[in-house]
Every structure is written in structure tokens, then in C-alpha cells.
């Protein structure tokens, strides 16, 4: 759901305040280190219950504080000028508080026991420099991205992934300790959850595959087809018995190595072009564009799911952290055309340096703030 207001207390360098964000696009303009990314991080936290920076919560409170607080109003529709009528649907509230490492998340004053409920209620997609690892980083980072995408549209995927990781940890411990009998108990569970993940990953691959190639070419004008490939560690159509046989055949080697050598934790996601790995020959700019297009497809996959399920928000909240700087003017224009358009019900937050031509990107109902020393001033509606 789109934000109407966002409030902060002792969150990084942000000044304690409630900020009006009731617009389709919100621009944060300021020099580096003033709090623009911290603002996006706070919004992401309100959507997902954690930071997109991968840091532990203890590092988030302002210096000298033992905790922090966040709060927001969500609305069914977005925009003070161009958005649709809210009708009789009341606003919703969300809050996050942490004090001495104890965290509490509330949705409409109800305490959430698991943050997956928050993620499913109002997801967010963040575009940031660290996304480069999805294109050029190690296989684990790409698995993380597609696990994240699958979790946005399926609570059962989150549950299967958690269960798989739990059994994998137990299985690795049994292998290191040489407890053969425990493997007999763990392997059926390991196979069950692993096959559930494989099925879901094949499904998300199907949702991404065509759109990714088309949208990458539309923005890059590269002239060659760049494809997304998914390679599972276990044979694609393997059933339970076949995978159990695979584990049995590998057991001696795994006991020797003390680790599990096959399963979804070793699946591969790759980008290919002309029969070879695209990452081996692509420029830094091309790889950065891969990560941006992945986020666009993620946004569209969620929107398609929301329409078909007739539940939840139509779009995730979009958080774009200085990503337009990485594109030349032509690609920047074509990339912006891929974002949800005016009146679609989507809400996007952008960060800009003062010298950028940010006024050209308003596209209608927009609020702009000057960001300095953690404060948000000079509010302007474009």
C-alpha cells in the first residue's frame, strides 16, 4: 500500500519527524551523507521489518540511543493530486520499535509474530548500488534475489526455505560428526523441502525469463539476446526416490568432506548471450543494467500476481537510490518508461544529487524535499 506519512525516532541520522509522502513520486534531493538513503532504508524497514543493507539492528539507532522507532500511515490509493479517491477505506498503520535489542512490529496495532506477514502485506522493491552483485556477484547473491522474489508472492515459499535451511544445517552437523543414523531421519525432510524449492524456482524462472530478455534489450539496445538461465543442482524432473538415490550415492564423499554437496543451496542462476556467460564479457555498465532490469521484472511479477490473486496492493513500494546516475541519458529515459505510469496506483521514492535534472522526472503528482543533516525541508509539490 502507498505511504501517506512516515515518522522516525532515533533512526540513524534522521531527525525525529513525521514527513508527508502522500504522492505518486517522492524526490529526496541532497548531497551524499545527508540522510537520503537512510530515509529509503526506514521505508523499507516499515515494509519488510529489516534493513536492505544487511546490517544487524544494533547498528541502526542514532549514536547514544538504545533503540529506534518508525511509524507510518498506509492508504489504499496514492496521491494528493493525481491519485484516486480513497472512498471509505480507512488508512492503515504500521510501526516498528526496538529497545535494547527487543523489536516489536505492529500492523493496525496488532503485534506481528513473524515479519513475513508484513512483507506479504506491503512489499517493497529497492534499487541500489549493491544490486550489482545480483549480476556480477557469487551464486549465493543471485539465489538470494530470486528467493526474495518468490517470497513476495508466496508465504509457503518462505516457510519451505526456512525449513530447508534448518534441515540443511542439521544435516551438515550430522555429516561432520559422522552420525549416519541421523541422516536416515533427515534426508527425507531434506528432499521434501528441496523439491518444493526447486518447483517454485522453476515457476519464478518462467515468470522472469521472457520479460527479462525483452526489457533488457528495450533499455540497452544491445542487439543480442541476453537470457536468464536456472540450473538446479538436482535433475530438473527428479522425484523423491531419484533424489534419495543421489544422496545415497554421494554420502561417502559428503561424510569425508563434512558438508552437503547437492541441493537447492547449490542451484545456479546465470545470464547467457550467444551460448556463453554474459557476465564473462559484459561491461560494468551492462551488468549494472542487468540488476536494474531484474528489479523492474520483480516489480511486474508482483503486480501480475496481485492482479490475479485480487489481494494485497497492486504494486510494491519502489525505492530508487541514485540509480539513474548509472545510466546515460538515453538509457535513463528508456528505463523510466518501464516504471509504473501516472495513475497506476504505484508509489516510487527517488534520491538525487542537487546537480541532477530531477525536475524532469516528476511525471505528475510529485513531492520533492531538500535533505540536509537528516532533515527534510523546502517541500515542493510538482
- Grid coordinates representing 213 are 530478455
The pLDDT assigned to 56 comes to 77
User: Tell me, which fold does domain 135-311 have in CATH?
Assistant: Glutathione S-transferase Yfyf (Class Pi); Chain A, domain 2 (1.20.1050)
Q: What average pLDDT does range 164-178 have in this prediction?
A: 96
Residue 83: pLDDT over 60:
no
The pLDDT assigned to 53 comes to 87
The pLDDT assigned to 364 comes to 76
The pLDDT assigned to 244 comes to 97
**CA distance linking residue 105 with residue 48, whole number of Å:** 10
Q: What average pLDDT does range 150-173 have in this prediction?
A: 95
Domain ranges in the chain with CATH number 1.20.1050.90: 135-311
**CA distance linking residue 323 with residue 264, whole number of Å:** 31
Cα distances (angstroms) measured from residue 268 to each of 7, 18, 52, 142:
40, 43, 23, 8
Q: Tell me phi and psi for residue 201, to 5 degrees.
A: -70, -35
The pLDDT assigned to 57 comes to 87
Grid cell 551488468 is found at 287
Instruction: Categorize the per-residue pLDDT at 203 as very low, low, confident or very high, splitting at 50, 70 and 90.
Output: very high
Q: What average pLDDT does range 104-118 have in this prediction?
A: 92
- The model's pLDDT over 12-28, given as tens digits with 9 standing for 90+, comes to 999 999 999 999 999 99
**45, 126 contact by CB (below 8 A):** no
The pLDDT assigned to 79 comes to 64
pTM of the model: 0.92
**312, 344 contact by CB (below 8 A):** no
The pLDDT assigned to 342 comes to 84
Instruction: Categorize the per-residue pLDDT at 84 as very low, low, confident or very high, splitting at 50, 70 and 90.
Output: very low
**CA distance linking residue 13 with residue 372, whole number of Å:** 10
Cross-sheet strand order for the sheet of 110-111: 17-20, 3-9, 67-74, 92-99, 102-107, 110-111
**CA distance linking residue 288 with residue 328, whole number of Å:** 12
- The model's pLDDT over 54-69, given as tens digits with 9 standing for 90+, comes to 767 888 999 999 999 9
Q: If we measure between CA atoms, which residue out of 159, 90, 85 comes closest to residue 119?
A: 159
- The model's pLDDT over 310-369, given as tens digits with 9 standing for 90+, comes to 766 789 999 999 998 889 999 999 999 999 988 888 999 999 999 999 998 887 799 999
Residue 81: pLDDT over 70:
no
Q: What average pLDDT does range 276-297 have in this prediction?
A: 95
The pLDDT assigned to 34 comes to 97
Domain ranges in the chain with CATH number 3.40.50.300: 1-123+313-382
Residue 180: pLDDT over 80:
yes
**37, 351 contact by CB (below 8 A):** yes
User: How many other CB atoms are found less than 10 A from the CB of residue 251?
Assistant: 15
The pLDDT assigned to 101 comes to 85
- Residue 239, classified by CB atoms within 10 Å of its CB into exposed (0-12), middle (13-18) or buried (19+), is exposed
The pLDDT assigned to 82 comes to 39
Residue 267: pLDDT over 90:
yes
The pLDDT assigned to 115 comes to 86
The pLDDT assigned to 307 comes to 87
**347, 3 contact by CB (below 8 A):** yes
Q: What average pLDDT does range 265-271 have in this prediction?
A: 97
Q: What average pLDDT does range 253-268 have in this prediction?
A: 96
Domain 1-123+313-382 matching CATH 3.40.50.300: the answer reads yes
Inter-axis angle of helices 155-177 and 180-220, nearest 10 = 130
Amino acid at each position: 500500500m502507498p505511504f501517506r506519512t512516515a515518522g522516525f525516532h532515533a533512526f540513524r541520522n534522521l531527525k525525529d519527524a513525521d514527513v508527508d509522502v502522500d504522492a505518486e513520486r517522492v524526490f529526496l534531493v541532497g548531497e551524499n551523507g545527508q540522510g537520503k538513503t537512510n530515509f529509503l532504508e526506514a521505508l523499507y524497514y516499515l515494509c519488510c521489518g529489516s534493513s536492505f543493507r544487511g546490517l544487524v539492528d544494533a547498528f541502526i539507532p542514532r549514536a547514544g540511543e538504545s533503540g529506534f522507532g518508525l511509524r507510518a500511515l498506509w492508504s489504499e490509493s496514492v496521491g494528493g493530486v493525481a491519485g484516486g479517491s480513497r472512498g471509505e477505506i480507512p488508512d492503515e498503520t504500521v510501526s516498528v520499535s526496538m529497545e535494547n535489542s527487543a523489536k516489536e512490529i505492529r500492523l493496525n496495532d496488532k503485534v506481528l509474530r513473524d515479519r513475513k506477514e508484513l512483507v506479504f502485506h506491503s512489499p517493497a522493491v529497492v534499487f541500489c548500488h549493491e544490486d550489482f552483485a545480483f549480476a556480477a556477484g557469487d551464486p549465493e547473491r543471485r539465489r538470494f534475489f530470486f528467493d526474495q522474489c518468490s517470497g513476495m508472492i508466496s508465504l509457503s515459499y518462505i516457510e519451505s526455505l526456512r525449513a530447508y535451511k534448518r534441515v540443511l544445517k542439521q544435516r551438515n552437523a550430522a555429516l561432520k560428526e559422522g552420525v549416519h543414523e541421523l541422516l536416515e531421519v533427515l534426508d527425507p525432510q531434506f528432499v521434501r523441502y528441496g523439491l518444493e524449492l526447486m518447483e517454485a524456482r522453476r515457476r519464478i524462472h518462467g515468470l522472469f525469463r521472457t520479460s527479462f530478455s525483452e526489457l533488457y534489450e528495450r533499455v540497452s539496445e544491445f542487439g543480442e539476446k541476453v537470457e536468464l538461465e536456472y540450473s538446479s543442482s538436482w535433475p530438473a524432473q527428479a522425484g523423491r526416490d531419484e533424489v534419495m538415490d543421489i544422496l545415497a550415492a554421494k554420502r561417502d564423499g559428503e561424510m569425508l568432506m563434512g558438508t552437503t554437496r547437492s541441493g537447492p543451496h547449490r542451484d545456479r542462476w546465470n545470464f547467457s548471450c550467444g551460448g556463453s556467460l554474459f557476465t564473462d564479457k559484459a561491461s560494468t555498465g551492462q551488468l549494472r543494467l542487468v540488476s536494474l532490469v531484474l528489479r523492474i521484472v520483480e516489480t511486474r511479477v508482483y503486480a501480475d500476481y496481485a492482479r490475479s490473486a485480487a489481494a494485497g496492493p497492486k504494486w510494491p513500494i519502489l525505492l530508487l537510490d541514485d540509480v539513474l546516475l548509472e545510466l546515460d541519458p538515453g538509457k535513463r529515459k528508456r528505463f523510466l518508461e518501464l516504471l509504473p505510469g501516472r495513475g497506476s496506483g504505484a508509489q516510487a521514492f527517488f534520491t538525487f544529487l542537487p546537480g541532477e535534472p530531477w525536475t524532469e522526472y516528476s511525471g505528475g503528482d510529485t513531492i520533492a524535499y531538500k535533505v540536509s543533516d537528516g532533515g527534510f525541508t523546502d517541500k515542493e509539490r510538482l
